[in-house]
Amino acid sequence: MARSYVAEARRRVGPKKARIRPVIERLAAAHPDATIALRFASDLELLVSVLLSAQTTDVNVNQVTERLFVKYRRPEDYLAVPPEELERDIYRTGFFRQKAKALRGTMRLLLEEFDGEVPSRLEQLVRLPGVARKTANVVAAELGEAQGIVVDTHVRRLSQRLGFTRQEDPVKIERDLQRLVPRPDWARFPHLLIWHGRRVCIARAPRCEECVLADLCPASRHV
């Protein structure tokens, strides 16, 4: 019964390659403000904000960095204070010891190998302590050098609901999306799904009756 329903739903909405462009266009119209929620004024502040955002909310990070970025302006500033002081300054973001260690290691490597500048290439970003592929993708995309597609919980959930992937592993989901999403849209596509996931396609109670993608989504309860 379940398989029959899924197959019928997929036939109803059509192939994913035919749906991806209207999905992007409708989401862009519905969420014109869909951009990164973190606040930053430089490449370095972007990198720090993304590093601090692990396991906490963007709102919380913005509250912490409002003061943090007044005190720490250059990579050298993060190394000029005792580790315990930096830990106190980022305490509210959680996992502060690991994050402080990653920040200091990152700043050291930036100074040693990148002249204190944040690199934009994915293979360089992932060499920085605490920077995994998701973090690197976020930073690269915001620097205008998207080389992949950010996969967070919203992107995973909505990509699965839209029938764009059947994978659970973020790396495999990204691979599926890269084959489907036009490269010029790699940077904005995750933002569109994230904001739609927050506002409409909520995890436990999706508002299908309000969704602009209802006729394009095999998981829609409202046709």
Catalytic machinery residues = 134, 152
Distance CA 55, CA 155 (A): 16
Q: For residues 188 and 203, give the distance between their C-alpha atoms in angstroms, rounded to a whole number.
A: 21
**Residues in Cβ contact with 195 at an 8 Å cutoff, skipping those fewer than 6 apart:** 31, 33, 34
Are residues 115 and 93 in contact, defined by beta-carbon separation less than 8 angstroms? no
Cα gap 98→46, rounded to integer Å: 18
Euclidean distance between the first and final Cα of the chain, in Å?
19
- For residue 24, give Cα distances in angstroms to 37, 84, 105, 208: 19, 45, 38, 17
The secondary structure element, H or E, covering residue 221 is: none
